[in-house]
Amino acid sequence: MNRTLAAALLGAALPAAAACPPLLDHRMASIKGEPADLCQYAGKVVLVVNTASYCGYTGQYKGLESLYQRYKDRGLVVLGVPSNDFGAQEPGSDAQVAEFCERTYKVRFPMLSKSVVSGPQAAPLYRGLAGKTGQAPAWNFHKYLLGRDGQAIGSFPSAVAPDDPRVLAAVEKALEAR
């Protein structure tokens, strides 16, 4: 490859890489095993939620899907991250979790592969979220809200449902920001 072409390709790649906010600058696997570059969500409002299939809060999948369907055309992404960290309430494989979510709750929002979300072994995404908000998940269905600029703008504990007025107000405000 000639230097001019290489410089042009590198120059074209640099702005895209620079535009990815640090909290989204992670590559993980989707629940289907495909690569997932979280930079694809730059410029969107992202609600990151650690999920579990056998938890008292599992019914929140319905509210998360409803929230996603209501606001996805305005730029909201709900990003589910299954985890077995709390009470061993997500023991299944990624395939089992995906099947459960699709069959039981008709989940269409993006789901990542099962990950550690707490403690020293937490996935880099979760270490970053906990560092920026000062709040690590204490249980399943903890929610982090990222603005369009990729900055953490909200953290909601498990007991705060997706349709809680505080979540809705924060999502609306983030979607209105440009």
Active-site residues: which are they? 55
Bridge partners (DSSP) listed for residue 143: 49, 156
The CA-atom distances, in angstroms, between 48 and each of 9, 141, 147 are: 33, 9, 11
160-166 contacts at long range (C-beta below 8 A, 24 or more positions apart) = 161/60, 161/63, 162/47, 162/60, 162/63, 162/64, 162/66, 162/67, 163/63, 163/66, 163/67
